[in-house]
Structure 1
């Protein structure tokens, strides 16, 4: 599916974080519609006064004690010049931290330029931590994938395959075995870190699983709170395929070449499991996850087998 960039307005940021960060909207309410996006991702931090903490490339600027002491020490034209220089950078919003008093000229310029001006009693380091996390989550590049997303043995696993191959039935069996459902049919993936994709369920279908012959099931009501999870980082893809799709050539019995699928620039390990009558797919998925965990710890059974085989050949010679 098409990739999308996250979007959030300054007004949305305020409503989401006002209580948590003790934010007060001091001036510049006309600029609440200003958007924060990745449009200026590579713009360098703009040096202003001393060291201005650059929270995000789209210019949410936090002013702490050092900057405010500098401003309080200015007067007349010097103060106005510093304030004008600050606002000339087309900031989306400004946050005054540590409960610092807001100079009247800062308030007036924010009102005149329509730049949202907030104040908070929290320290700038705390504000930057929360704002950085919020913006990374809200503005992360995202995409949607068809499949069923579960937490299996503590790991995020996306089960993919053609329609009717048995994804939902497999998910239901895994839930009955104590694993947790995140999303059925569609999972939203966010690129929250260089090598991390976070999977979430669209609110409309949260807790629901559609199984042929049974209809739509509410997994939370059927199996309890522990049977569902709101989000999980994607670590493994399991693709269910018909045996004829792979053929003898595609069946790499030693799994010597690791398979991956790239989503939003992140390579995710992938396992292809042929579907056939009599195969216990739930057990196979569990074992695939266990095997992936071992590989991530540097334990590769294929390499162990090859070494043992080579040792046996050397002894025979």
Structure 2
């Protein structure tokens, strides 16, 4: 299960959120993660004693509420708060940190951070950051490209020509995200984001040419840091068995399940003389049309059905 320490969270967001470390330095290694056994445990939010957050945020209303409580009631509230599973506390809006809250964080080894940013903005930034950093991930073999603003994963057996195809597409103005090892992160219920391992960024291996630095060869616009996966192009060697098994009308869209997300997949047979770059671009354009509700195959079937009915009607009239 992916996790992150409070120290790492502080380092990554310190400047953007104007974070200051106030107390609880002994809890820097407290870990934040998605708890599948406790789905009601949210990652970040305003103080909630019923469905607690891993990061509890004190905004203007929460600080005002704590300050208005009688001393004994305040201690009872904090006792209940710190009995929960909590990785850190953040006081937002530039509010003064109550001394009682500071003491509890020191006692329970819970990092206490302060921010001048409004609590709604702080929580939005934190949620996006944690969604990406704690996303469930997997690594697939293939080449990932940005083709016509659509994230495309090209897969297939070794020596199928994936890298050569990627090089041709890059030369036609499309962008490289990752070659060989593609890291996929589920950042939303139906969203997979592709990234490249740091070691392989900008590089593409082509048999006969070796390893090419795509950024150096084609320029800055030829590479992308990340892209959402929308379409899989699977290359297979063309033979009689494969060709007979293909659905020429492609009535039912083929999909592949990755991390619980179904992704549209198109199988393209590889044979001498076939322009794969053109075929990939055509597949992407067709996918874009389908997103807009335009299905060429369905239009063809409807036209054929309509013409057959017209012929039958003319025959009955005669």
> Residues 45 and 265 of structure 1: is their aligned pair in 2 closer, same or farther, counting only changes over 3 Å?
closer
- Note the 1:6-21 alignment, pairs <5 A: 6-21=2-17
In the aligned structure 2, how far is the partner of 1:223 from the partner of 1:312?
Answer: 50
How many Å apart are 1:70 and its aligned residue?
1.1
In the aligned structure 1, how far is the partner of 2:35 from the partner of 2:41?
Answer: 14
In the aligned structure 2, how far is the partner of 1:43 from the partner of 1:257?
Answer: 35
> Residues 192 and 121 of structure 1: is their aligned pair in 2 closer, same or farther, counting only changes over 3 Å?
same
CA contact (8 A) 1:98 1:123 kept: yes
CA contact (8 A) 2:142 2:153 kept: yes
In the aligned structure 2, how far is the partner of 1:65 from the partner of 1:19?
Answer: 21
SS at match of 1:18: helix
In the aligned structure 1, how far is the partner of 2:66 from the partner of 2:194?
Answer: 44
1:213 alignment counterpart: 208
2:32 alignment partner, one of 25, 28, 36: 36
1:231 alignment partner, one of 223, 226, 245: 226
Q: What is the TM-score normalised by the length of structure 2?
A: 0.93
1:69 alignment counterpart: 64
In the aligned structure 1, how far is the partner of 2:95 from the partner of 2:240?
Answer: 66
Structure 1: where are the runs of 5+ without partners?
none
2:267 alignment partner, one of 272, 297, 302: 272
> Residues 287 and 57 of structure 1: is their aligned pair in 2 closer, same or farther, counting only changes over 3 Å?
farther
1:159 alignment counterpart: 154
2:172 alignment counterpart: 177
**Which range moves more in the overlay, 223-232 or 60-69?**
60-69
SS at match of 1:156: strand
Q: Deviations over 1:88-130 (max 9, x none)?
A: 1131001011111111111011011110010111111001100
Q: Deviations over 1:194-248 (max 9, x none)?
A: 1110000001000000000000000000000000000000000000001238534
CA contact (8 A) 1:210 1:216 kept: yes
Q: Matched residue pairs, number?
A: 308
In the aligned structure 2, how far is the partner of 1:121 from the partner of 1:248?
Answer: 63
In the aligned structure 2, how far is the partner of 1:188 from the partner of 1:296?
Answer: 25
How many Å apart are 1:57 and its aligned residue?
6.9
SS at match of 1:185: strand
Q: Which structure shows the bigger proportion of residues in strand conformation?
A: 2
In the aligned structure 1, how far is the partner of 2:279 from the partner of 2:136?
Answer: 32
1:59 alignment counterpart: 54
2:290 maps to 1:295: yes
- Note the 1:32-181 alignment, pairs <5 A: 32-40=28-36, 42-44=38-40, 52=47, 59-181=54-176
How many Å apart are 1:315 and its aligned residue?
1.8
SS at match of 2:247: coil
CA contact (8 A) 1:151 1:179 kept: yes
CA contact (8 A) 1:53 1:62 kept: no
- Structure 1 vs Structure 2 CA RMSD: 1.7
